[in-house]
Amino acid sequence: MDNSNGGMGGKTALITGGTSGIGKASAVALAAMGANVVVVGRNPERGEAAVEEIKAQSHSGSVELMLADLSVQSEVRKLAEEFLGRHDRLDVLANNAGLVQSKRTETPDGIETTLAINHLAPFLLTNLLIERLEQSAPSRVITVSSEAQRWGNMEFEDIQSRRKYRGFPVYGMTKLANIMFTYELAERLSSTGVSANCLHPGSVGTNFGQNNRGPMALFFRTFKPFMRSPEQGADTLIWLSSSPEVAGVSGKYFSDRKEIKAKKVAYDPAARRRLWEISEDLTGLKVAA
């Protein structure tokens, strides 16, 4: 990754899933550019070890760990509250954390886990941090989606996959939700100086998918040697976070630094609004408003 694409000195970046994989690679690059980087992880020991590695690789001391289990909405709220208490600016919010599951499980909030982590967590966290992003404008929200969105259908009547659960299609639906959220967010923030974009990182050889057993775990183990490195997978995320080339660009979906098209439903304003309203209901944001 070429670090010469724009200074990040004095800027603050918050990266979910920042203690491993492309999140960690992005943290290293942005810290090396001079950003104050806050990485979000679940495990204190692994998180602190990752922070030390990021500091060493980036030659920067401005790297901080915040702990949150993003499947639990109270922890997402606590994360936002802690961040706002510690930081007076937010220039980059990278919604990177995600998972795929072969079997259906529910979070402590009673939400299907893939939906909770991949879509509702970034939806809730972004909304809770909107004011700080606006105060820091021009600022950027980047959400990691996937071309798995093409396998997904937006099942509004069964968005929690209670009637039928299949791991990859449900994952695809949440990645499609990431794009629809990004497009709707960009529209809602069009006059604020906050941009919202999303990306497909490519097939990256990380620990992603290793939480599963059976055929899904076998799939990830088999193809891992042929996948991109985390650094390669992080390239577009780093570029969207830092490059002057995309200053002011908003409401786009990228792969390898090029804009690509999403599924047709992502361009349907009524469908995007419906997803937003369902997401407000499932996160309690509508009640809070």
Residues designated catalytic: 171
Amino acid at 213: R
Contact 72/119 with Cβ under 8 angstroms? no
User: How many other CB atoms are there within 10 angstroms of residue 81's CB atom?
Assistant: 11
Please tell me whether the peptide bond between 201 and the residue prior to it is cis, using omega within 30 degrees of 0. no
Contact 17/40 with Cβ under 8 angstroms? yes
Give the Cα separation of 271 and 66 in Å (integer): 34
Give the Cα separation of 93 and 237 in Å (integer): 11
Which two three-digit tokens encode residue 156?
């509004």
Q: Which of 28, 34, 14, 30 lies closest to 76 in space, CA to CA? A: 14
Give the Cα separation of 28 and 23 in Å (integer): 9
**To the nearest 5 percent, what fractions of the chain are helix, strand and coil?**
50, 15, 35
User: How many other CB atoms are there within 10 angstroms of residue 280's CB atom?
Assistant: 17
Which two three-digit tokens encode residue 122?
């970034």
Contact 178/145 with Cβ under 8 angstroms? yes
Alpha helices of the chain — where are they, by DSSP H?
Answer: 21-32, 44-58, 73-86, 113-115, 121-135, 167-188, 215-223, 230-242, 269-283, 285-288
